[in-house]
Amino acid sequence: MNFPEDNNELKLALEKAEAAARLREAPTPSRLCEDWRFGNPHRWAAELVALLEDAQTTNAGSIRMEAPEGVACEPDDELRSDELLMSSIGSDKLLGLHLKRFGKGVCLFLETSPEKPITITYETDSVFTPTTCILAAPGVRAQITERHITRGKGTIFCVRDIKAMEGADLSVHLVEEGSGSSRALNITNISSVRARVRHLTEHTGHAWAREETTAEILASEDDADIQLFSANRLADGQVLDQHTRQLHAVGRSASNLLYKNVLDGKATAVFAGNIRVEEGAHNTDAYQANRNMLLSEDAVVHSLPGLEILADRVRCSHGSASSPMDEEQLFYLMARGVPRHEAQLLVADGFLEDARAAFRGER
Amino acid sequence: MSEQDSPFSVDTRGEFSFPENHRYDAGYGLTEQTIDYICDAKGEPNWLREFRKAALRKFREMPMPTHWAPEGISGVDFEKIRYYLAHGTPPRKSWDEVPEDVKRTFERLGVPEQERAFLAGVDAQYDSETAYNNMRRELSEKGVIFVNSTEGLKEYEHIFRPWFGKVIPVGDNKFSALNHAAFSGGSFIYIPKGVKLAQPLQAYFRINSESMGQFERTLIIADEGAELVYMEGCTAPKFDTATLHSGVVELVALKGAKIQYVTVQNWAANVYNLVIQRGLAMEGAEIRWIDCNLGSGLTMKYPAVVLRGEGARGEVVSISLAHTGQHQDTGARMIHAAPNTTSNIVAKSISIGKGRASYRGEVQVLKGMKGCKNNTECDALLINPSSRTDTYPAITVSGNASSVQHEASVSQVDEEMLFYMQQRGLTRAQAMSLAVNGFINDLVNEFPMEYSVELRRLIDLEMEDSIG
C-alpha cells in the first residue's frame, strides 16, 4: 500500500495491528518449522510456551547496572509498541508471550559518549523476561556489557533492541552464564543507520540456549558496518541453537559474522545464518563464517549458512568448517611439557579467542 | 555463432514440436484406474500392479515438501497431468524401423550423429516408451544389460527386483511415491563383475505431448569392480501449460565399482523438473554425478551419494544456468554412513536477467563414523543487476574424527576484465561470454567432449541474447 508522507502515523498503526495479529496467531514452534529443525526443539519450545502461558509464573529477576546518571530508565509504553515491531526468527509465538509479560528491563538512551563502559546484569533463578533497549544517538561511542546469570533451573528470555544512529560506534557484549540445567532465549534486533555496531555473545553452562539475531542496515554511505561474533564452549548434553540474519536493505554497506564453537561431551550446536541482500542494495560486502571444533565422539554440529543475493556488484561469501582439534598444535604444546589435557584447553581457548579479539577490534 | 556453424545439430531451445499421435493415452489425473491402464498397456505382473497402487496411496497421504522447498513447487497441479502416453510399438533395434516423426525429432537432437561417432549404445526415450534401442554386440557378449525399465522388470526380474526402490524408497518423499506409482520408461543397466566399459552409454529423454508427465525410472547396477559412464540429455518442446518431469534415478556401485552419471537437462521453460537421483556406494566404490541444468521453469535436483562402504567416494559436479523466468534449485547430498569415506561437491551457477539460481546441499557425517572428509565449494555469478542467487547448505557432523568444510562466494564479471577485452576489439557480448566460459571452464572439462562443446556454444547464445 502507498501512503502519502503525512500519513506515516496511520501506516505505523496499521503495521502494528498487523504485527499484533501475526504474533497472536503464530503457532508453537515445532520440528516442522524450518527455523526449529535441530537440537530437539519440539521439547524445548513446548516447555517454554507452557511456562510462559502459565498464569502462575511470575516475571522474577533482579537488575543491576553500572551506568552514568540519567542514561537509563525502565521500559515504557513506547518501547512496548516498538517491541511489537521486532522480528524473531521463527519464534513469533514466543515474542507474543514476551510482550504479554512486558515491563522489566533496561532502556539506555545514549545522547553523549559515556566515559566508562556500561554494565547491565540480569539475574534469576526462576523465569525472567526482561527487555533491553539500547539507542545510541549520532556520533556516540559506547561499550556495553550485558550479563545474564541464571541459577538452578531458571529460564531467562530476553528481547534486545539495539539501534545506532549516524556516526555512532557501539560495541555490545552479551555474556550468558548458566547453571548446567538453566535455559536462555535471546531475541536480538540490531539496526544501523550509517553507524558501526559490533556484537559478541558468549555462552557457558545453559542446558539449552537459543539466539535469534537479526542485524539490519537501514541507511548507508559506505560507513554502515555490523559485525557479529560468538564464542562458545559447550559440554555435557548442552544445546546451543543460534540463528542469524544479516539484512542489507540499502547498498554500500558491510556486515561480517564469525561464530565459533568448541564442543565436548554430547553437546549439540546449531548455526543457521542467512545473508540477504535486497534488490537494489548494490555494492554490498557481506561475510559469514561458522567454525566448530569437535572434541568428543558424541558431539554434533548442524551448520546451515545461507545466502540470498538479489543485487549487483556484491561481494559475499560464507564458509563453514567443522573438524577435530589439530593434533600438531597439541603436539607442539606437549613437546614443551604441557600435559595433554591442559594443552587441549589452551588450543580450544585460542580457537575461541580469535572471535573475541576480532570483537575487540584487535584483528 | 549460428546453429549451422555448430558441429552438432542439437536444438538447444526446444521450441519446436510435432503432431501428437499416441496409441495409449491414460488421460488426465492419477487414480487407481490410471494405474490399471498403465499396467494393462505394459502387460505388467500383478505384484507390480499392487506395488504401484500402494505407492499411490502413499503419494496421497504424504504432504508436499515443507522444509527447504522453493515456493514455486506449490504451482504443480497433479490433476492436470497426463500420466501415461506411448506409441505402443515395441523398442526398435535398427534405426530404419523407427517411425518417421520420431526420427525427425531425434534428427534435431543429434542422436544419429552421436551414435555414429562413438557411442556404445543408444536407448532414446520418446515420451514414455523407448522407441529406439540398439546395443553393440560386443557389449551383450560381455554380459552388459542395457534395456528400458519395463523390459528390465520383465526379463531380468531376478536382478532388478531386489534393488528396485531400495536406494530411493517409496516413502522417501511425495515425488518418490508419485514416481513409484506412475513410472514408465527409463533405463535398466547391469554391468557384470570386473567389466569396464571404455565408451559411455547414452539415453535421450524427450517430452512431446502437452501436459505430459514423464516419470522415468533408471536403475544402474555396477557389480564388483565394474566401471561405466552413463550420459543422459534432455530437451522438450515449448508448450503453454505446465508439464511435470519427476524421475527417479538409482545407482548401485558394489565393492570397488565406479559409476559416472552425466546429465544435461534442457527442458522448455514450462516444465517442472523434480528429479530424485541417489547412488549407493559400497566398499571402495566411487560414484560421480556430473550435472548440468540449463532449461525448465523450476528444477529441483539434488544428486545424492550414500557412502555405505568403507573408503567409498562420492562426487558431484554441477553447473546451472538460470534465465528470466527460471529457477534452478540444484545442489547435492552426501551421506557419510561408513568410516573413511570422502566426498567432494563443486557447484557453479550463473544467473542471467531475472533468473534465480539456488544451491541447496546437505552433508551428513553419521554418528561414530571416523575419518570422513567432505569439501564443498559453490560459486555464483550474477550477470545482470536483477539476477538472484541463493545458497542454502545444511551440514551435520557427529564426532571428533571427521572434517567438513564448505565455502561459497558470489561475484560479478569484473568490469575491468570486460574493458580489457572490449579494448582489444571484442563486442561486449563476446567479452561476457568469454568471461562466463572462464568461470565454468574447469567444470566443463569434466563433461564428455560433445557436451562441453554444446555447453560453450549455448553460453555464447545466452550472452548474445542478454547483453546483445
Chain A CA closest to residue B385: A312
Chain B CA closest to residue A37: B67
How many contacts (CB atoms, under 8 Å) link A and B? 127
Query: In A132-165, which positions are buried (b, 16+ CB within 10 angstroms) versus exposed (e)?
Result: bbbbbbeebebbbbbbbbbeeebbbbbbbbbbbb
Q: Which residues of B touch A309 (CB under 8 A)?
A: 380, 382, 388-390, 410
Q: How far apart are the first and last CA of chain A?
A: 46
Predicted pLDDT of residue B6: 33
How far, in Å, CA of B412 to CA of B299, rounded? 23
Residue A309: all three cell numbers together: 543475493
Predicted pLDDT of residue B115: 42
B73 lies within 8 A of chain A by CB: no
Predicted pLDDT of residue A1: 47
Mention every residue, 6+ apart, whose C-beta is less than 8 A from residue B146.
B121, B123, B135, B139, B187, B188, B189, B201
How far, in Å, CA of B326 to CA of B146, rounded? 34
How far, in Å, CA of B124 to CA of B106, rounded? 9
8 Å CB contact of A309 and B388: yes
A6 or B44: which leads in pLDDT: B44
CA dihedral B330, B332, B333, B334 (to 10 degrees): 180
Predicted pLDDT of residue A6: 61
Predicted pLDDT of residue B1: 34
CA atoms lying within 13 Å on the CB side of residue A266: 5
Predicted pLDDT of residue A335: 94
Looking at the complex, report in whole angstroms how far the Cα of residue B389 sits from the nearest Cα belonging to chain A.
Answer: 5
Domain ranges of chain B: 3-301, 415-468
Predicted pLDDT of residue B118: 34
pLDDT of residue A223 exceeding 60: yes
Q: What is the mean pLDDT of residues A20-25?
A: 88
pLDDT of residue A362 exceeding 50: yes
Residue A303: all three cell numbers together: 551448520
Nearest to B382 among A37, A312, A319 (CB): A312
The residue among A87, A75, A90 whose CA lies nearest residue A18 is A87
Q: What is the mean pLDDT of residues A146-174?
A: 95
B345 lies within 8 A of chain A by CB: no
Q: Which residues of chain B fall below pLDDT 50?
A: 1-16, 18, 89-93, 111-123, 127-128, 131-132, 205-206, 208-212, 236, 238, 240, 468
* Lowest-confidence region among A1-10, A205-214, A285-294, A349-358: A1-10
A141 or B125: which leads in pLDDT: A141
Residues facing B146 on adjacent strands: B189
Q: What is the mean pLDDT of chain B?
A: 78
Q: Which residues of B touch A38 (CB under 8 A)?
A: 396
Burial class (CB in 10 A: 0-12, 13-18, 19+), A363: exposed
B23 or A20: which leads in pLDDT: A20
pLDDT in tens, B264-301: 887 777 788 888 999 999 999 999 999 888 878 889 99
Cα A319 to Cα A31, A194, A359, B379, B408: the distances in Å are 25, 27, 19, 12, 6
The residue among A185, A175, A25 whose CA lies nearest residue A98 is A185
Q: Which residue, among B400, B404, B405, B407, would best test binding to A if mutated, counting the most A CBs under 10 Å from its CB?
A: B400
Q: Which residues of B touch A280 (CB under 8 A)?
A: 385
Identify the band that residue A34 occupies on the pLDDT scale cut at 50, 70 and 90. Answer: confident
Predicted pLDDT of residue B289: 95
The residue among B255, B203, B207 whose CA lies nearest residue B229 is B203
Nearest to B397 among A32, A313, A322 (CB): A322
Q: What is the 3-state secondary structure (H, E, C) of chain A?
A: CCCCHHHHHHHHHHHHHHHHHHHHHCCCCCCCCHHHCCCCHHHHHHHHHHHHHCCCCCCCCEEEEECCCCCEECCCHHHHHHHHCCCCCCCHHHHHHHHHCCCCEEEEEECCCCCCCEEEEEEECCEECCEEEEEECCCCEEEEEEEEEECCCCEEEEEEEEEECCCCEEEEEEEEEEEEEEEEEEEEEEEEECCEEEEEEEEEEEEEEEEEEEEEEEECCCCEEEEEEEEEEECCCCEEEEEEEEEECCCCEEEEEEEEEEECCCCEEEEEEEEEECCCCCCCEEEEEEEEEECCCCCEEEEEEEEEECCCCCEEEEEEEEEECCHHHHHHHHHCCCCHHHHHHHHHHHHHHHHHHHHCCCC
Residue B299: all three cell numbers together: 528444477
Predicted pLDDT of residue B325: 86
Residue B42: all three cell numbers together: 505394459
Q: What is the mean pLDDT of residues A38-42?
A: 77
Predicted pLDDT of residue B102: 53
**Is the confidence metric ipTM above 0.90 for this complex?**
no
How far, in Å, CA of B171 to CA of A11, rounded? 48
How far, in Å, CA of B3 to CA of B385, rounded? 29
Residue with grid cell 523438473, as numbered in its chain? B273
Longest Cα–Cα distance in chain A: 73
Q: Which residues of B touch A304 (CB under 8 A)?
A: 392-395
Residue B91: all three cell numbers together: 523398442
Residue with grid cell 534428427, as numbered in its chain? B107
Predicted pLDDT of residue B132: 44
pLDDT in tens, A45-74: 888 999 898 878 788 899 999 988 888 988
pLDDT of residue A80 exceeding 80: yes
Q: Which residues of B touch A311 (CB under 8 A)?
A: 385
Looking at the complex, report in whole angstroms how far the Cα of residue A257 sits from the nearest Cα belonging to chain B.
Answer: 14
Q: Which residues of B touch A324 (CB under 8 A)?
A: 400-403
